[in-house]
């Protein structure tokens, strides 16, 4: 990395915001629906996972680009999961979606070092931005829920019609920040969306590997928590 870093872009989920609550949310919904419908909660939770795996390739990209309503994916996944266990009642699907959205929203929290690192970067005069995949309403609600603000740019795939790893979404961030790719770092946990995407747009790619995952990409730097960024930006 040559020259001074003037901006740092962050992925949201799994980077600034904890994203390890998905299983707990699904199991909580499965328990509530299981009680209501007389279904084993573990069986329903497993059906949800299978439905998610089957449906995401069909609709995931459209959902991330904002081409589908924000609740479209959870609604169809729960509809399929319930149908798998013999429940075709639309009111059960609606109840599952409402509870899922409610529990997911209340579970959002920042990683412990996130606010500290953002403050440190800004104190050095470094611009900060978010580049996140997801529907506009969903991602903006997360930011509001945890009080994340002060960014010079927030780029949401559902608002710009393209998703990471498309180099275009990174270039959109650079344009809004008014900075060059060579002077910008992007940090994220996803080796395809964040590392490969940022590299393709000419940004310095920093992979945050909180879980000890196997390295399957070629980041410029790898860190285990966000404090590692402070040494990278100098």
> Could you read off the pLDDT of 111-121 as tens digits, one per residue?
999 999 999 99
Determine the angle formed by the axes of helices 41-64 and 72-84, rounding to 10 degrees.
Answer: 150
Contact partners, residue 9, CB within 8 Å, separation at least 6: 128, 129, 130, 131, 170, 173, 184, 185, 186, 187, 198, 203
For the ranges 72-86, 96-110, 167-181, the lowest mean pLDDT is seen at 96-110
75 φψ region: left (φ > 0), alpha (ψ -120 to 50), beta (else): alpha
> What is the reported pLDDT for 198?
98
Mean pLDDT, residues 13-19 = 93
The yes-or-no verdict on residue 7 having pLDDT over 90 is: yes
Average pLDDT of the chain, as a whole number: 94
The yes-or-no verdict on residue 1 having pLDDT over 60 is: no
Residue that is written with structure tokens 């279904």 in the block? 39
Q: Domain 7-19+109-233: which topology? A: Rossmann fold (3.40.50)
The yes-or-no verdict on residue 61 having pLDDT over 90 is: yes
Spatial separation of the C-alpha atoms in residues 66 and 88, rounded to whole Å: 28
User: Which CATH code fits 22-106?
Assistant: 1.10.150.240
pTM > 0.85:
yes
Burial group, residue 69, by CB count within 10 angstroms (0-12, 13-18, 19+) = exposed
Mean pLDDT, residues 149-169 = 97
The yes-or-no verdict on residue 2 having pLDDT over 60 is: no
Q: Determine contact, residues 15/193, Cβ cutoff 8 Å.
A: no
Give whole-number Cα distances, 125 to 4, 51, 122, 180, 225, in Å: 11, 46, 5, 16, 21
DSSP string, 94-123: HHHHHHHHHHHHHT--B-TTHHHHHHHHHH
pLDDT band at 44; cut points 50, 70, 90 = very high
Mean pLDDT, residues 32-58 = 94
> What is the reported pLDDT for 14?
95
Instruction: Residue 229: name the closest of 152, 116, 108 by CA.
Output: 116
pLDDT band at 19; cut points 50, 70, 90 = confident
Mean pLDDT, residues 179-185 = 97
Domain ranges of the chain: 7-19+109-233, 22-106
The yes-or-no verdict on residue 92 having pLDDT over 90 is: yes
> What is the reported pLDDT for 21?
82
pLDDT band at 77; cut points 50, 70, 90 = very high
Spatial separation of the C-alpha atoms in residues 126 and 150, rounded to whole Å: 12
- Measured from the Cβ of residue 72, the count of other Cβ atoms closer than 10 Å reads 16
Show the DSSP H helices in 110-204 as ranges: 114-123, 136-146, 157-160, 167-177, 197-200
Angle at 27 between CA 22 and CA 30, to 5 degrees: 125
């Amino acid at each position: 990395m040559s020259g001074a870093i003037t901006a740092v872009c962050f992925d949201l989920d799994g980077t600034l915001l904890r994203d390890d609550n998905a299983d707990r949310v699904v199991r909580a919904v499965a328990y509530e629906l299981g009680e209501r419908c007389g279904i084993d909660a573990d069986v329903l939770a497993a059906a949800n996972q299978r439905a998610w795996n089957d449906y995401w390739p069909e609709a995931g990209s459209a959902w991330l680009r904002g081409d589908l309503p924000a609740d479209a994916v959870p609604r169809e996944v729960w509809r399929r999961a319930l149908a798998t266990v013999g429940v075709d009642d639309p009111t059960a699907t609606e109840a599952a979606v409402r509870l899922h959205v409610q529990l997911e929203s209340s579970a959002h929290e920042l990683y412990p070092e996130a606010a500290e690192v953002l403050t440190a970067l800004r104190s050095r005069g470094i611009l900060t931005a978010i580049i996140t995949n997801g529907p506009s309403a969903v991602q903006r609600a997360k930011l509001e829920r945890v009080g994340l603000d002060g960014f010079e740019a927030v780029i949401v795939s559902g608002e710009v019609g393209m998703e990471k790893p498309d180099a275009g979404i990174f270039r959109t961030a650079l344009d809004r920040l008014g900075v060059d790719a060579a002077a910008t770092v992007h940090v994220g946990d996803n080796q395809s969306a964040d590392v490969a995407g940022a590299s393709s747009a000419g940004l310095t790619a920093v992979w945050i590997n909180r879980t000890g995952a196997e390295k399957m990409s070629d980041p410029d730097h790898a860190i285990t928590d966000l404090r590692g960024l402070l040494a990278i930006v100098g």
